[in-house]
Amino acid sequence: MTAPQPLIAGNWKMNGLSDSLTEAEAIAEGAAQAKARVAICPPALLIPEMSRRLAGSKVAVGGQDAHWEDAGAHTGDISAPMLADAGARMVILGHSERRSGHCETDHVVADKVRASLRAGLEPIVCVGESLEERKSGRALAVVTGQVRGSLPAELAGHAFAVAYEPCWAIGTGLTPTTAEIEEMHRAIRATLVEMFGATAEDVPILYGGSVKPSNAAEILHAAEVGGALVGGASLKARDFLAIVQAA
Ligand code: 13P
């Protein structure tokens, strides 16, 4: 059996104005021969134009969040059908910055996953422990609990990815050891297989948190690592492409 293609996704977070679209074009140009699947998740306002410019390229465009309802009275929110209509093919859900900054629970994330499936989007569902949870030895229990709570049964048979992003590694330059990443990814894999059966062996489990050109190869070749979710280093084509090439 051939291993599934790794996925390298860039999460631009709340960074980027319209002049950043040239950076996305440079990424698409540099990634044309990449072995990995590649995606950029820019701020929502850039999705329509980025999708237009990257059409036909190797790089998919994704959203960073979606509401759990398809439409309605939710001022300021963006729905999954709107993302799909704008050209997105994927969506990051349950990022720790949304769990902590916008009080998103596993239950809310699971509803958002259902909405993304209705819209035909591939969800990238984020999980990860806080520093306090790691220090107190609860990291595995917390993260596998998030996997159980955030991934609804409706995902069976659909394309999706899980991203393990320890909160304390995001934007800090700190990373877990390779052994710690492998231990967590194995635990996530076992949980997925318990929930969805043997087909879950092929679900990509991405690592995220201070991935950069200098550590990408080691992380991407660790056991059960099926790609990366990259924040800061995805904003510059040169750095992001170096990570893409390391896969
Ligand atoms: P950094 O790569 O900037 O640490 O961010 C990781 C992240 O949160 C990606 O979703």
Cα(123)–Cα(116) distance, integer angstroms: 7
Quick check: CB of 210 below 6 Å from ligand 1? yes
Q: Is residue 50 part of a domain?
A: yes
CA-closest residue to ligand 1 atom 5 = 231
C-beta neighbour count of 58 within 10 angstroms: 18
Would 76 be classed as within a structural domain? yes
Strands 122-127 and 37-41 come out as unpaired
Question: In 3D, which of 152, 157, 165, 163 has the Cα closest to residue 200?
Answer: 157
pLDDT for position 219: 98
15's CB contacts (< 8 A; 6+ apart) are 43, 235
**Once rounded to an integer, what is the mean pLDDT over residues 160-189?**
97
Provide the percentage of residues in the chain whose pLDDT is more than 70: 99
The distance of Cα 62 from the centroid of its chain, to the nearest Å, equals 9
The rounded Å distance from CA 208 to ligand 1 centre is: 6
Question: Does the CB atom of residue 229 touch ligand 1 within 6 A?
Answer: yes
For 179, the domain range is 7-18+37-88+103-246
Residue 239 has pLDDT above 60, yes or no: yes
Residue 29 domain-assigned (yes or no):
no
- What average pLDDT does the structure give for the chain? 97
Q: Has residue 27 been placed in a domain? A: no
Give 90 Cα–ligand 1 centroid separation in angstroms.
Answer: 17
In one letter, which amino acid is 25?
Answer: E
Q: Which atom of ligand 1 is nearest to the CA of 92?
A: 10
pTM: 0.98
Q: Is 239 in the pocket of ligand 1 (CB under 6 A)?
A: no
Asked if residue 4 has pLDDT above 80, the reply is yes
* Amino acid making up residue 180: E
pLDDT at 131 exceeding the cut of 90 = yes
2 pLDDT exceeds 90?
A: no
Judged by DSSP in three states, 109 sits in helix
Q: Which of 12, 170, 215, 234 to mutate to test the pocket of ligand 1 (most atoms within 8 A of CB)?
A: 170
- Residue whose entry in the numeric block shows the structure tokens 């960074």: 15
Q: Is the CB of 232 under 6 A from ligand 1?
A: yes
Both tokens assigned to 189? 């894999």
pLDDT at 206 over 70: yes
Q: Judge if the beta carbon of residue 208 lies within 6 A of ligand 1.
A: yes
Q: Judge whether 142 lies within some domain.
A: yes
Annotated active-site positions, please? 95, 165
Tokens for 192, please give them.
């997925």
Residue 205, beta-bridge partner list:
162
Tell which atom from ligand 1 comes closest to the C-alpha of 96.
8
Kindly report the CA angle at 131 between 192 and 143, in degrees rounded to 5? 10
- Reply yes or no on whether the pLDDT at 186 is more than 60: yes
Q: Give 209 Cα–ligand 1 centroid separation in angstroms.
A: 5
pLDDT digits (tens, 9 = 90+) for 86-99: 999 999 999 999 99
CA of 1 to the centre of ligand 1 (A): 31
Calculate mean pLDDT across residues 132-154.
98
% of the chain with per-residue pLDDT over 90: 98
**The predicted structure's pLDDT at residue 3:** 74
Q: Is 128 a pocket residue for ligand 1 (Cβ < 6 Å)?
A: no
Q: What is the pLDDT of residues 40-82, one digit of tens each?
A: 999 999 999 999 999 999 999 999 999 999 999 999 999 999 9
Helix boundaries (H) for 1-56: 21-30, 47-54
CB 201 within 8 A of CB 162: no
Number of domains in the chain: 1
Ligand 1: residue whose CA is nearest its atom 1:
231
Pairing of strands 90-93, 122-127: parallel
Q: Is the CB of 234 under 6 A from ligand 1?
A: no
CATH number at residue 110: 3.20.20.70
